[in-house]
Amino acid sequence: MFAKTVLDNGIRVVSQEMRDHRSISLGIWVENGSRHESPQENGISHFIEHLLFKGTKRRSAAQIAEEMDAVGGVLNAFTAKEHTCYYAKVLDENLPLAIDLLTDIFLHSSFESEEIERERSVILQEISQAEDTPDDYVHDLFSLDFFKDHPLGRPICGCLETVTGFHREDFVNFFRTRYRPLRVVVSAAGHVNHDALVREMAERLGSDSKGSAANSMPAQVETPPEMGNGVFPHRKSLEQVHLCLGMAGTNQSHPQRYAAYVLNTLLGGGMSSRLFQEIREKRGKAYSVYSFAAAYKDVGYFGVYAGTSMEWTEEVVELILQELKSLAAGEIKEGEIERTQGQLVGSMILGLESTDSWMSHIARNEIYFGEPVTTDEICAGVRSVTRDDVVNLAQTLFHSRTLTLSLLGDFKDGFKIKTLL
């Protein structure tokens, strides 16, 4: 059973009661991510996410970890392009502890200078690790190439120059500016009572001193990016070439979003997908190949990843383009749409069997839609997609003149992809 309450200061509390579960997942979500940073601030949201676990007025970093470990729970966080989430998963009997820990780090983190320097070193190692993982790193490069000089294109972790330049006052000022009640969603799922949760959150977060200032501040204008196109080779000494080929897609609330789900899964969403069958199974030209989509409030992109040898790079790009053109031309076999719809519905339902996935599901719905979107609605939306819907969307998206191709590999001078020239 879903419920929603808005506290007096604007914080939204949403919950999904699941009486047959013993666990509860609780998250504090802030509508703040790397998109809301200036070029000089790139990575500060992610840095703050780390720092909130490094001690409060009441607890040291070790005590925060020890208290959650003592009940076998999970305490963690993540930063995305448009939001940050701090969450805990515990047995229902330990919900008071989860509430106390999360609200303590959210309201009373100390941002000690020694912890900042220690965590700066950790984040720099995280950046280096990402750059040493080429199948992940190429996605960051694609985002930079595709969104040009827009915050959506910049890496969530930031870069060496920005991360080394942050000072304590930068974190404190950014936190005070961005962590406002109107941007906060408290989300819970599991064996939880909504009214009791609201009372606890009103007591702990309802008097947040940042509330009155937040309600008088104008909403930040989030300008949509100008999307790029072209071929962007990035040189790195590697055995393989890792590539992302992408184009503009659909945003989170786009009326064709269900058709986009089907299109993405049909093209490269599993072992039965067109790309996997054609490029890996039939031709053996790649070990890993799949399609992907990212959706934000106002924009999105759709793309394909593949890892292949230098000698097969051009051929793999041509094969990807052939599959895109085939879908845009309506070359869809009987039963493909129905099989893909079943795959989507089944994977969604299976993915929502845990309280943490439900906690995320209802929080994202609140952030992007302002209301619950039931699984029945999603299933009906997926099942309603027709062959013509998929073809029409493919025709809208797939234009060679608007493609962005990012490549990461040991390229020589003069390297070109003739197919896209």
Q: Locate 169 and state its tokens.
A: 């006052």
Q: Which residues contact 349 (CB under 8 A, 6 or more apart)?
A: 375, 379
Which residue is listed with tokens 């993915």? 351
Q: Which residues contact 201 (CB under 8 A, 6 or more apart)?
A: 7, 11, 13, 99, 103, 186
Beta bridge partners of 84: 30, 79
Residues noted as catalytic: 49
Q: Do the Cβ atoms of 77 and 46 come closer than 8 Å?
A: no
Give the DSSP H or E segment for 230: strand 230-235
Q: Locate 403 and state its tokens.
A: 């493609």
Q: Locate 57 and state its tokens.
A: 């007025």
Q: Which residues contact 396 (CB under 8 A, 6 or more apart)?
A: none
Give the DSSP H or E segment for 147: helix 134-147
Calpha distance 111→134 (Å, rounded)? 33
Tell me the residue length of the chain.
Answer: 421
